[in-house]
């Protein structure tokens, strides 16, 4: 089974190819729509997947009209047209496939050419007959030209709609892949060092990813609980529990808890005592406070028998990423601490 990163990279490559084909007219619009449908399918956008299939093959309808489901998809595809007649505004959907629209244009152009060629033929053999034919053919040619213009306009709208979708998904995927690559580098550093520092945490990270692959929201919550335990284990190694301390903060005396449960405070204290960069202390400290509060909230909800705190996998993903980033920062700081005495 392909990973999310592999799926994103495949979809990005397809979007890049489809955009190139569209911009350089290297493939039919129908073919590009089918490619867009595949992109939507592998990225999980099932409405857009169906829309692109209908763009290529036509939107289904019954003698009684269009079903509510198809109407909503046509509306999302910008195929609903408003027309005012007899003082009343009505809406209707244009349901023809791109392929049929392109075929109709080709047929209309051929009809127009035949009509023009017929006039030229008549004018060369019988000028008087040519004059009378102008009246008969001009209305037909006008109607054909109108058909070509209207159909061309609709195809242009379809091209713009597909281009907009491909462009949006391309930049979305490009950002996602770049972010994933950055996270992969951080993850590699953490995975290669955490086992030396906190051996049992590597097993917890493995459990985190297994839980994230589940479709069960309770497993997502369990992934978040594992993040909390990883940070607790790291705090026990870097800054073991000790008595609380009192500090003067903003002219007021404040007690800083450093006991067993105060793992975030202990990690912040470790950062403050070993980093000379106030900016580093500020950024890492604020991240740890935010993440710690959220992890504790999820943990407390679980203690009360509720797993509703994590309702989306994306939310759990974010906490896992934040955890990795913090662990990576602390591992980097510890490496600097170990180097400094050696250099001295």
pLDDT tens readout for residues 168-210: 999 988 877 776 777 777 778 887 788 888 888 878 888 888 8
Taking the C-alpha atoms of residue 64 and residue 66, their distance in angstroms, rounded to an integer, is 7
- In the structure, what pLDDT confidence band is assigned to residue 343 with cuts at 50, 70 and 90? very low
Is residue 188 included in any domain, yes or no? no
Number of domains present in the structure of the chain: 2
Whether the CB-CB separation of 144 and 104 falls below 8 Å is answered with: no
What 8-state DSSP symbol labels residue 256? E
Taking the C-alpha atoms of residue 208 and residue 337, their distance in angstroms, rounded to an integer, is 29
Is residue 25 included in any domain, yes or no? yes
Neighbours of 144 (CB within 10 A): 20
Is residue 187 included in any domain, yes or no? no
pLDDT value, residue 141: 77
Whether the CB-CB separation of 307 and 275 falls below 8 Å is answered with: no
Domain match, 205 and 168 both: no
Is residue 183 included in any domain, yes or no? no
In the chain, where do the E strands start and end? 80-85, 88-93, 245-249, 252-256
Nearest Cα to 262, choosing from 240, 282, 279? 240
Whether the pLDDT of residue 234 is over 50: the answer is yes
Domain match, 136 and 209 both: no
269 membership: H or E segment, kind and range: helix 263-274
Structure tokens at 64: 């009684």
Structure tokens at 39: 């992109």
Taking the C-alpha atoms of residue 214 and residue 206, their distance in angstroms, rounded to an integer, is 13
Average pLDDT over the chain reads 83
pLDDT tens readout for residues 149-163: 888 999 999 999 999
Is residue 128 included in any domain, yes or no? yes
- In this prediction, residues 50-62 reach a mean pLDDT of 94
Whether the pLDDT of residue 303 is over 70: the answer is no
Those residues with Cβ within 8 angstroms of residue 22's Cβ, 6 or more apart along the chain or in another chain: 29, 32, 159, 162, 163, 166
Q: Domain range holding 212?
A: 198-336
Taking the C-alpha atoms of residue 294 and residue 307, their distance in angstroms, rounded to an integer, is 14
pLDDT tens readout for residues 38-49: 999 999 999 999
Domain match, 169 and 224 both: no
Is residue 180 included in any domain, yes or no? no
pLDDT tens readout for residues 108-163: 888 877 776 555 554 545 555 544 455 556 777 778 888 888 889 999 999 999 99
Nearest Cα to 272, choosing from 319, 330, 233? 330
Q: What torsion do the CA atoms of 260, 264, 268, 273 make, to the nearest 10 degrees?
A: 20
Q: Considering 140, 175, 210, which residue would you say is the last residue of a domain? A: 175
pTM of the model: 0.58
Is residue 139 included in any domain, yes or no? yes
pLDDT value, residue 168: 94
**CA contacts within 13 A on the Cβ side of 39:** 28
């Amino acid at each position: 089974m392909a990973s999310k990163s592999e799926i994103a990279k495949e979809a990005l490559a397809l979007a890049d190819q489809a955009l190139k084909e569209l911009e350089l007219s290297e493939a039919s619009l129908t073919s590009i729509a089918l490619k867009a449908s595949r992109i939507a399918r592998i990225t999980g956008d099932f409405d857009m997947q169906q829309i692109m299939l209908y763009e290529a093959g036509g939107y289904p309808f019954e003698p009684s009209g269009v079903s509510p489901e198809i109407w909503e998809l046509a509306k999302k595809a910008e195929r609903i047209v408003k027309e005012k007649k007899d003082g009343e505004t009505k809406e209707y959907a244009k349901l023809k496939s791109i392929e049929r629209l392109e075929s109709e244009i080709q047929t209309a152009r051929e009809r127009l050419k035949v009509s023009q060629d017929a006039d030229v033929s008549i004018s060369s053999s019988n000028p008087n007959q040519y004059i009378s034919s102008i009246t008969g053919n001009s209305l037909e040619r006008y109607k054909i030209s109108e058909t070509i213009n209207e159909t061309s306009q609709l195809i242009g709208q379809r091209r713009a709609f597909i281009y907009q979708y491909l462009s949006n998904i391309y930049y979305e995927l490009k950002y996602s892949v770049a972010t994933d690559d950055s996270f992969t580098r951080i993850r590699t550093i953490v995975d290669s060092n955490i086992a030396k520092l906190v051996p049992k945490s590597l097993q917890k990270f493995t459990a985190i990813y297994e839980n994230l692959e589940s479709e069960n929201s309770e497993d997502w919550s369990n992934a978040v609980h594992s993040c909390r335990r990883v940070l607790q284990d790291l705090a026990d190694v870097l800054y073991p529990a000790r008595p609380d301390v009192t500090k003067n903060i903003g002219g007021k005396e404040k007690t800083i808890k450093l006991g067993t449960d105060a793992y975030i405070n202990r990690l912040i204290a470790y950062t403050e005592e070993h980093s000379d960069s106030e900016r580093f202390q500020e950024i890492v400290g604020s991240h740890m406070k935010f993440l710690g509060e959220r992890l504790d909230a999820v943990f407390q909800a679980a203690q009360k028998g509720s797993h509703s705190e994590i309702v989306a996998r994306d939310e759990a993903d974010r906490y896992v990423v934040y955890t990795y980033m913090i662990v990576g920062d602390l591992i980097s700081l510890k490496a600097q601490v170990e180097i400094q005495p050696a250099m001295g």
